């Protein structure tokens, strides 16, 4: 397994480009299953989860042509409507093919999602929604088996709780269903809006994406399309925190500032200067003197759960006590004990973490437990005294494209050891 070796203490200075969004590209790839015509996606990040999804689509029947950040998919027919465990065990997004497969071929057999051990994700909401659309579903041997031999039909689906992948999955299923589907308490994340934009280009009729109510009028057939994936707001946020925690001066280029508004607000409250030089760039400047600021994760447009671990690393360097409350996932503080190994003062109490600072972090051997936790350890290592070795960085490779190269170009002392 690869490791990162990081020597901390260098303020980061320069410009970092933002890659395309992993969490937007994954449902966009799945959407290609809805048509027999070519779908071309641009700005697709070259990360582990994307490669896994591409292999899955090829097994299902897609022809994939990858040229750098451009992926062209063509699925003349569904050869095997299945997502096997052995292929998708490392990826949470496997459930995203459930809706498209049932809509296109009338059946699907999908392994329950794998990925990070950060707590349960409500696949039951996907199942309930598909049942409302007329699918017959049962679960056995770790698989969800769905069937709709006569096709799906429109319905009103109310999500008991907000679910991003559930909203995306049902939206993809509903575009080929007969009649109108209304999704209530739908997720408002930018990734949902981006998927709706792609589906609309393919010929779908969708209104309300980005609000809590989405209306979809089913069509008989979708066509091909070309679409550019939005920038990755979580990557942009991670690099904003990297500039702040090191007391640096970093410009994050090619992002959408509105998508990280909640984080920018917290950084400014903490004493970090964040400006917007142009429409797609954010600049973060910090003297290194930070104030503690409480934070609670929420669905968009609130503070993203995928930035909670990175924010906790930042708060270890802030003056005072900060309380971080995690409301989305029940097991997302596994990075706290690794930060403590580096000298952080963190106490866990259920779904909240109490962080006291500033404490001088020192290099240590630590283990990445999930995708965003590994990013928090990288950030902590950038400010720690001495050398930090981070093991199991395959987690970070799932969602960050060449993070060590991007950080190196702004002065970080980081290298990958195979």
Domain boundaries, the chain: 3-19+231-417, 22-228
Residues in contact with 316: Cβ distance below 8 Å, sequence separation at least 6, in sequence order: 339, 344, 345, 346, 355, 357, 358, 359, 361, 380
Architecture of domain 22-228: Alpha-beta prism (3.65)
When comparing pLDDT for 66 and 86, which is higher? Answer: 66
120: pLDDT strictly greater than 60? no
Quote the CA–CA distance of 214 and 203 in Å, as a whole number: 16
* Of the candidate ranges 21-35, 86-100, 245-259, 403-417, the one whose mean pLDDT is the lowest: 86-100
Q: Is there a contact between 190 and 151 (Cβ–Cβ < 8 Å)? A: no
CA 82 from centroid of its chain's CA atoms: 23
Please classify residue 314 by burial: count the beta carbons closer than 10 Å to its beta carbon, then call 0-12 exposed, 13-18 middle and 19+ buried.
Answer: buried
117: pLDDT strictly greater than 60? no
Kindly indicate the confidence band of residue 373, based on its pLDDT and cuts at 50, 70 and 90. confident
* Of the candidate ranges 294-303, 321-330, 357-366, the one whose mean pLDDT is the lowest: 321-330
The pair phi, psi for residue 181, each rounded to 5°, is -115, 135
Residue 349: CB atoms within 10 A of its CB come to: 10
pTM of the model: 0.96
1: pLDDT strictly greater than 50? yes
Quote the CA–CA distance of 398 and 380 in Å, as a whole number: 20
Each as own residue / partner, the long-range contacts of residues 134-143 (CB below 8 Å, 24 or more positions apart, any chain) are 134/177, 135/102, 135/173, 139/112, 142/85, 142/111, 142/112, 143/85, 143/109, 143/110, 143/111, 143/112
Bridge partners of residue 107, in order along the sequence: 147
Q: Is there a contact between 318 and 293 (Cβ–Cβ < 8 Å)? A: yes
- Round the CA-based radius of gyration of the chain to a whole number and report it: 21
Kindly indicate the confidence band of residue 255, based on its pLDDT and cuts at 50, 70 and 90. very high
Q: What percent of the chain has pLDDT over 90?
A: 87
Residues labelled as active-site residues:
116
Quote the CA–CA distance of 229 and 69 in Å, as a whole number: 10
Q: Is there a contact between 133 and 154 (Cβ–Cβ < 8 Å)? A: yes
When comparing pLDDT for 148 and 118, which is higher? Answer: 148
The class level of CATH for 3-19+231-417 reads alpha beta
205: pLDDT strictly greater than 50? yes
230: pLDDT strictly greater than 80? yes
Residue 417: CB atoms within 10 A of its CB come to: 12
| Mean pLDDT, residues 78-88 taken together | 90
3-state SS record for the chain: CCEEEEECCCCCEEEEECCECHHHHHHHHHHHHHCCCCEEEECCCCCHHHHHHHHHHHHHCCEEEEECCEEEEECCCCCCCEECHHHHCCCHHHHHHHHHHHHHHCEEEEECCCCCCCCCCCHHHHHHHHHHCCCEEEEECCEEEEECCCCCECCEEECCCCCHHHHHHHHHHHCCCECEEEEECCCCCHHHHHHHHHHHHCCCEEECECECEEEEECCCCCCCEEEECCECHHHHHHHHHHHHHCCCEEEEECCCHHHHHHHHHHHHHCCCEEEEEECCEEEEECCCCEECCCEEECCCCCECHHHHHHHHHHHCCEEEEEEEECCCCCCCCCHHHHHHHCCCEEEEECCEEEEEECCCCECCEEECCCHHHHHHHHHHHHHCECEEEEECCHHHHCCCCCHHHHHHCCCCEEEEEC
Quote the CA–CA distance of 333 and 311 in Å, as a whole number: 12
Residues in contact with 141: Cβ distance below 8 Å, sequence separation at least 6, in sequence order: none
Q: What is the mean pLDDT of the chain?
A: 94
Residue 157 confidence (pLDDT)? 98
Bridge partners of residue 275, in order along the sequence: 283
Residue 372 confidence (pLDDT)? 82
Residue 330 confidence (pLDDT)? 72
| Mean pLDDT, residues 305-310 taken together | 96
Residue 114 confidence (pLDDT)? 54
- The Cα-based distances of 157 to 18, 132, 180, 182, 269 in angstroms read 35, 7, 11, 6, 39
Quote the CA–CA distance of 126 and 108 in Å, as a whole number: 13
90: pLDDT strictly greater than 80? no
């Amino acid at each position: 397994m690869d490791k990162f070796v990081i020597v901390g203490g260098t303020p980061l200075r320069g410009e970092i480009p933002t890659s395309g969004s992993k969490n937007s590209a994954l449902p966009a790839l799945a959407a290609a299953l809805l048509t027999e015509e070519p779908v071309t996606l641009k700005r697709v990040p070259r990360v582990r989860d994307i490669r896994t999804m591409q292999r899955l689509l090829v097994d299902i029947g897609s022809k994939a042509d990858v040229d750098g950040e451009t992926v062209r998919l063509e699925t003349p027919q569904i050869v095997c409507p299945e997502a096997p465990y052995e292929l998708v065990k490392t990826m949470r997004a496997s459930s995203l093919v459930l809706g498209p497969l049932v809509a296109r071929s009338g059946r699907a057999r999908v392994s329950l999602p794998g990925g990070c051990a950060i707590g349960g994700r409500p696949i039951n909401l996907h199942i309930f929604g598909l049942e409302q659309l007329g699918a017959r579903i049962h679960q056995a041997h770790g698989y969800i088996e769905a069937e709709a031999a006569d096709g799906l039909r429109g319905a009103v689906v109310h999500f008991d709780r907000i679910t991003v992948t559930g909203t995306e999955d049902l939206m993809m299923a509903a575009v080929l269903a007969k009649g109108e589907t209304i999704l209530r308490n739908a997720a408002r994340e930018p990734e949902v809006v981006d998927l709706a934009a792609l589906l609309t280009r393919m010929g779908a009729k969708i209104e309300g994406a980005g609000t809590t109510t989405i209306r979809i009028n089913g069509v008989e057939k979708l066509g091909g399309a070309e679409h550019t994936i939005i920038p990755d707001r979580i990557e942009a946020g991670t690099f904003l925190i990297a500039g702040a925690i090191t007391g640096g001066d970093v410009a994050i280029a090619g992002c959408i500032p509105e998508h990280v508004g909640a984080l920018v607000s917290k950084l400014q409250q903490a004493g970090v200067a964040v400006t917007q030089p142009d429409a797609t760039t954010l600049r973060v400047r910090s003297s290194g003197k930070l104030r503690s600021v409480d934070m609670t994760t929420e669905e968009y447009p609130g503070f993203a759960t995928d930035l909670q671990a990175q924010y906790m690393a930042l708060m270890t360097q802030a003056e005072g006590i900060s309380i971080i409350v995690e409301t989305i996932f029940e097991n997302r503080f596994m990075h706290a004990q690794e930060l403590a190994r580096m000298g952080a003062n963190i106490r866990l109490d259920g779904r909240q973490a109490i962080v006291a600072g500033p404490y001088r972090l020192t290099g240590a051997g630590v283990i990445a437990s999930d995708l965003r936790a590994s990013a928090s350890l990288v950030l902590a290592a950038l400010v720690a005294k001495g050398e930090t070795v981070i093991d199991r960085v395959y987690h970070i490779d799932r969602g960050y494209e060449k993070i060590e190269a991007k950080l190196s170009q702004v002065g970080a002392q980081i290298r990958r050891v195979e």
